[in-house]
Amino acid sequence: MPSRPHPNAVRLAAFYAAFFGVVGTLQPFWPLWLKAKGLNAADIGLVLAIGIGAKVIGLPFAAHAADRTGERQRLIAGLATASVLAWSLFATADGFWSIVLVSLVFFSLWPPVMSLSESLTVAAAHDGGFQYGRVRLWGSVAFIVTALASGAVLARRPADAVFWMILAGIGVTLLTTLCLPDRRAEPSLGHGVPLLVLLRRRAFVLVLIACGLIQGSHAVYYAFGTIHWTAAGYSEVVIGALWAEGVVCEVILFAVGATLVHRLGATGMIAVAGLAAGVRWFGTATTETLVSIIALQTLHAASFGAAHLGAMHWIGTEVPPALSATAQSLYSSVVWGLFLGIMLWGSGLLYARFEAGAFLPMAGAGLAGSAIAFGLARREPSVPLAPPTAELSPFRR
């Protein structure tokens, strides 16, 4: 008989499903709500960019509090509660500047919920002997389900429904945070400023740069993939299926990810992800046949999933628990904030001038990230780092 899943794995899987259920509505359909509020394309782009900027601001503060106190679960629940209240303010936001203000508040609070939970999940998986990828995959499943369900709802309801669906989803996420394992790390007092301690490690900085280039290479796809395929003559149904295909492949990767990480190592996974990104974006730039696009979309499992799994494994094995929340926040801030934000801004300029050719620089970014990761994989042994001491940096040079 198959063994029962670890209780903490079930609790964490429920949280991931709830959180990414929100993302499944927020990412595809929040721009529709903004448009219904009277914002033009330039205003919508600016609001989205402000959301990324707010993430960069909020994550380090939340992580610093987590590592200084050793708290995880209570801080996550508090941030989720504040996120419900912040999102509720959109009900009264009317006009560009009020939406900008509420966006700054909400996106300073909501992303740290996931960042701190990733830290908690990696540690709980290590303690409980279950696989991170098999917990995380439920988030991807929920994204697919809610994206499809939200689209069906919006086919019959006005764009105001986006606000209510997201509010309900954040409320469900809050409930799941109350059930998260109450695992506390040793406070990092006496180890120096966590941010500076981490940034002294050259390998950590290189991992951030490699993942930033690889994940940032998805910028043109995220911003203009649908527009590109529409211009190529494909229907909304086909385009929706192509987006779903990529996430389905991501789910499969997460299900078998532990075996791949064991064989390739963390930096090896990141290197493979960069190669896949190079192939994927070169192909997207040069072909528009449906068979080719379907084949290229399967590479989402590698270009996104392998890079993320590799980064989570590297942080989980190489970073002391007392610094894990700060490490996760730096990963999110640098990769999903700094790199993706800059490359999203650049993607608009590139696509306006080159259209499909805008994917070619993204291929170059993915290959550059792969080269950095390959260099790390060859030079650095995959050995957990020693615990921090008052006299020495916790990281080997």
Residue 148: CATH number of its domain:
1.20.1250.20
Q: Same domain for 299 and 333?
A: yes
Band of residue 136 on the pLDDT scale cut at 50, 70, 90: confident
Final residue belonging to a domain, choices 137, 161, 185: 185
Q: Same domain for 148 and 286?
A: no
Quote the pTM value. Answer: 0.74
Confidence at residue 192, expressed as pLDDT on a 0 to 100 scale: 52
Tell me the per-residue pLDDT of 305-345, one tens digit each, with 9 for 90 and over: 999 999 989 998 888 877 877 788 889 889 988 898 888 87
Residue 293 lies in a domain: yes
DSSP for 158-223, please give it.
-THHHHHHHHHHHHHHHHHHTTS----PPP-TTS--HHHHHHT-HHHHHHHHHHHHHHHTTHHHHH
Confidence at residue 105, expressed as pLDDT on a 0 to 100 scale: 95
- Average pLDDT (52-67) is 79
Residue 144 has pLDDT above 50, yes or no: yes
N- to C-terminal Cα distance for the chain? 47
The chain-wide mean pLDDT, for the chain, equals 85
Percent of the chain at pLDDT > 90 equals 42
Confidence at residue 257, expressed as pLDDT on a 0 to 100 scale: 84
Residue 227 has pLDDT above 90, yes or no: no
Q: Same domain for 160 and 36?
A: yes
Tokens found for residue 250: 């991501």
How many residues does the structure list for the chain? 397
Q: Same domain for 173 and 198?
A: no
Secondary structure class of 30 (helix, strand, coil): helix
Final residue belonging to a domain, choices 157, 185, 213: 185
Residue 247 has pLDDT above 60, yes or no: yes
Q: Same domain for 276 and 207?
A: yes
Please tell me which residue, 158 or 209, carries the higher pLDDT value. 209
Confidence at residue 300, expressed as pLDDT on a 0 to 100 scale: 96
The answer to which of 54-58, 201-205, 355-359 has the lowest mean pLDDT is 54-58
Residue 2 lies in a domain: no
Percent of the chain at pLDDT > 70 equals 91
- What type of residue sits at position 392? L
Confidence at residue 362, expressed as pLDDT on a 0 to 100 scale: 98
Confidence at residue 225, expressed as pLDDT on a 0 to 100 scale: 82
Band of residue 164 on the pLDDT scale cut at 50, 70, 90: very high
Q: Residue 220 and residue 226: Cα distance in Å, rounded?
A: 10
Final residue belonging to a domain, choices 185, 207, 235: 185
Tell me the per-residue pLDDT of 78-110, one tens digit each, with 9 for 90 and over: 999 999 999 999 999 988 999 999 999 999 999
Total domains, the chain: 2
Q: Same domain for 234 and 259?
A: yes
Residue 185 has pLDDT above 70, yes or no: no
Which regions of the chain does DSSP assign to beta strands (E)? none
Q: In terms of Cα–Cα distance, which of 340, 312, 338 is closest to 327?
A: 312
Tell me the per-residue pLDDT of 292-304, one tens digit each, with 9 for 90 and over: 999 999 999 999 9
Confidence at residue 330, expressed as pLDDT on a 0 to 100 scale: 86
Confidence at residue 389, expressed as pLDDT on a 0 to 100 scale: 30
Q: Residue 227 and residue 221: Cα distance in Å, rounded?
A: 9
Residue 137 is part of which domain span? 7-185
Q: How far is CA 196 from CA 189, 330, 336, in A?
A: 13, 11, 20
Phi, psi (deg, nearest 5) at residue 143: -60, -45
Residue 121 lies in a domain: yes
Q: Same domain for 336 and 208?
A: yes
